[in-house]
Structure 1
Amino acid sequence: MTLSLTADEHDVIVELMNIGVGRAAGALSQLVQDEVLLSVPQLQFLTPAEARDIFCRSMPGLLAGVMQGFRGFMSGRAALLFPEERSLELVRAMLGTDLSADEISELEQETLAELGNILLNNCLATLANLLNQQIQTELPQAFNVDTPHLLSRLSPAQDDEGSMIMLVQIDFSLRESALQGYLAFLIDLHSADTFIEALRRYLAGLE
């Protein structure tokens, strides 16, 4: 089952996500004392099977990620995902080039967790605030996993028939580093319906 969105509804979600990642970019720029650019070029609502196919094609191999549970007007798990071989590059861009490779490796999990906390919290909080809803988030957890096992890591008790993934592609520009990653929001179908209802009320208020 997939969600049926109008063009306006799809565009508004992209706009809201861009506001969220824009706020995250501002917070990250202060953290690294350099300009950080983030954008959302693509958003899709997918079944877990469809999302699995995309991950296996676009990010085969090992992934580095940050996972965070959330609950409120919608419930589920959010994840920030990168190809594992690029994660150290991202961490180096955030920490600076004065550290050795060993030092950066030691700080990888902590730095990725902080990055995920900033990015995921800003996106979720922006969605909730602008849609006039409430949401609470759990502490983020950094992890590494091979692509075929990603979705079972996000949701060990996953029901492919009862869940939906909002997959958001994000483009990063950090100093000299440019890379693509994904935000994946795994939500149950009831939460997805609640999210769309809140979105439609928001759109109606703009008319």
Structure 2
Amino acid sequence: MAARTTENIKLADLIRQNVESMAFPPSEIEAATYEEVSALPRVVVSRPPAEELLATGFVHYDCHRNCGEQAANDPDGNSRQVTGWLPHGEDLILHSVVMIENQWICLTPQLVPAPNRFEFIPDPHLEWRNADGGATRTAFRHGNEVPKALRRDPGHHIRMRDEFQALVARGHSVIEARNLIATSAFRRSKVGSE
């Protein structure tokens, strides 16, 4: 029971972080980057079972560190970290995977069940720069720091954040609020497409 409670707390924290991180103000750079990245070729990536990844020491939702450590600690030098974009609905999420002997592999375990194969957009224009005296690394593209996601409709995410916060303020749990928003967003998209 304690493990389930800890997992729910982690999930609730992750939901809060994701809602906030996707509600940043729109910019012309984001819109132009979204169009450019959307046109890049995609590859198919495999993800081993979460239990295997966790047993190996990889960390939930820390893809850049997981892949960087794999590349740095591969005794044969066959692993290469590749940063790009994970298509998620109409959005593109900054993500890292590794290429090991021509195989694309995701080393990041998920708390929520996720497909074991997915599309990924390698981005050759991304570069990592050290910050905070080397304590952190930040992704840049054409000299501009990139956000953690590129959104097709930034206003949608800002409205979702506001609705999420209102639901939580009215007493819904974080998980309930997320589920209510997902259901209402799905209903709105179905109505708009009919």
Higher helix share: 1
Higher relative contact order (CA 8 A, sep 6+): 1
TM-score by length of 2: 0.32
TM-score by length of 1: 0.30
The structure with the largest alpha-carbon Rg is 2
Higher strand share: 1
